Amino acid sequence: MSDIKLFSINGQSAQELEAKTAVLEKDLQHHIERHMEVLLGVRFLATEYSTGKTHKGRIDSLGLDENSCPVIVEYKRHTNENVINQGLFYLDWLLDHQAEFKWLVMESLGKETAEAIEWNGTRLICIASDFNKYDEHAVQQINRNIELMRYRYFGADLLLLELVNAQTVAQIIGSSSDESGRRTAASASRDKTQGERLAEASPELVELFQAVCSYSEQLGDEVQRKELKLYTVFKRIRNFMSVVVMPGKNDPKLLVYLKLPGESANEDGFTRNVTNIGHWGTGDFEVIIRNQNDWLKAKDLILQSYEAS
């Protein structure tokens, strides 16, 4: 059980706020869906999505995260081990019906967004009042991107979401293709992948990349690293950093995008405001790392983004 306690402090007195679960599962689902982008970093697509007559199911919530990865969210008002099995059932259905999901994204968010779906990052988020040790162990044994989140209501208007456990895998499907076997526009892109750019990078740039990744992963037990087609992302519940390797012969560098206010960048060749500039990754604050001195300066900025996420 969660041991998190929340207190209201007023002058000389302190009062513990009572932790409660949702009266109805639908209440929890409604609150999450209404504020999904703020709470989870996921754009809401559909509620109670039918999986058809053959599959005979309804996915609680469908969305697309800030890295363009499909997301399934399943809810349980109380502790219930079935939420994981149920979510996995729907996750397999989704990966077998990519064209249907792509059409849903196209109708809701537009063709360009639909063409950029990152299927290898497809995620399942299970939200329940609690999970037991067997749930947490089971998640680590399953080759899927699964996150367990515990929720609690405090008082009249406070909702707590706590990331209990997460399993991140390098790849969950063999290729980015739709049901008819055609390659998606994202996989057919002429842009070199992060892996291809890393293979071309100098040993010095690779060493810088590894240093950034190692430092970021050890910031907290809840940090998740995900290798996407064009960049590497680090997240808690939401992204706090994206890293793009740029191995150009004349100016090899790492482009790091942080969730800090873009307007606070100095525009000095080390940091830049990219709020209105297209770029890979997420975040409006760009940090350019070319050498060890840049990396030493970047550490504090990465920590700030992590703590703010």
- β-sheet bridge partners, residue 15: 8
Answer yes or no: are the C-beta atoms of 209 and 201 closer than 8 Å: yes
**Alpha-carbon Rg of the chain, whole angstroms?**
21
Question: How confident is the model over 179-216, as pLDDT tens digits?
Answer: 333 334 444 457 899 999 999 999 999 999 999 999 99
N-term to C-term CA, the chain? 24
pLDDT value, residue 2: 58
Q: What's the chain's length in residues?
A: 309
Q: Dihedrals φ, ψ of 14, to 5°?
A: -135, 130
- Please report the pLDDT score of residue 170 as a whole number: 61
Beta bridge partners of 235: 224, 239
Residue 56 pLDDT: 80
**Helix 292-308 × helix 203-217 angle, to 10°:** 30
> Any alpha helices (H) in the chain, and if so which ranges?
25-34, 36-40, 52-55, 82-96, 98-109, 111-115, 133-141, 185-188, 194-200, 203-217, 292-308
Neighbours of 87 (CB within 10 A): 22
Q: Distances from the Cα of 136 to the Cαs of 133, 167, 238, in angstroms?
A: 5, 9, 20
Residue 119 has a pLDDT of 93
User: What is the per-residue pLDDT for 267?
Assistant: 80
| CB burial of residue 139 (10 Å; 0-12, 13-18, 19+) | buried
Closest CA relative to residue 169, chosen from 119, 127, 207: 119
Question: What distance in Å separates the CA atoms of residue 202 and residue 276, rounded to the nearest whole number?
Answer: 31
**Alpha-carbon distance 151 to 83, whole Å?**
14
Q: Which residues pair with 234 in a beta bridge?
A: 225, 241
pLDDT in the model for residue 53: 80
Whole-number Cα distances in Å, 124 to 9, 58, 92, 144: 37, 14, 10, 8
Find out whether 258 and 211 touch, Cβ atoms under 8 Å: no
User: What residues of the chain score a pLDDT lower than 70?
Assistant: 1-2, 79-81, 170-189
| Separation CA 253–CA 288 (nearest Å) | 7
- Cβ partners under 8 Å of residue 189, min gap 6: 229
Cα gap 301→289, rounded to integer Å: 12
